[in-house]
Amino acid sequence: MNGPGHCPDCRRPVLWTRTEPGVSTEGGKRLAVDPTPNPDGNTAVDRDGTGRYVSRRVTEERPLWGPERLHMPHPATCPRRQTQIALPQGVIRLADHRRKHRP
Ligand SMILES: [Zn+2]
């Protein structure tokens, strides 16, 4: 599944993405993100050449760029999982950075 869908746990609308390989992850996994971009999120979402949604963790080394949009990973907001998952420390806020660099 890729694109708009629903969380199997809480039934809220989500955007299904495929993760890109990262520094410590292989990628290729499914990740649900909240469908509305969120400056407090830590996941960059973009579409690949075939129109599929792909996502990756935003880091200081690889900040948000180009057409990417910042989203909150759904497991961080899912009411069914709220107690299990917290955003890792060191997640950087990009809202100010983006405002500065956008025309
Ligand atoms: Zn959910």
For 42-74, what is each residue's pLDDT tens digit? 999 999 999 999 999 999 999 999 999 999 999
Q: How far is the CA of 42 from the centre of ligand 1 (A)?
A: 17
Q: Ligand 1 centre from 41 Cα, in Å?
A: 16
CA 52–ligand 1 middle distance (angstroms)? 21
Q: Print the domain residue range for 72.
A: 3-101
Type of residue found at 18: R
Count the alpha carbons within 13 Å of 87 in the hemisphere toward its beta carbon: 17
Task: Return the closest-CA partner of residue 82 out of 6, 10, 4, 5.
Answer: 10
Segment 4-14 shows an average pLDDT of 96
Q: Are strands 53-57 and 13-19 parallel, antiparallel or unpaired?
A: parallel
Q: Residue 92: its pLDDT value, please? A: 55
Number of domains in the chain: 1
54 Cα: distance to centroid of ligand 1 (angstroms) = 19
Task: Give CA–CA dist 85/65, Å, rounded.
Answer: 26
Percent of the chain residues topping a pLDDT of 90: 64
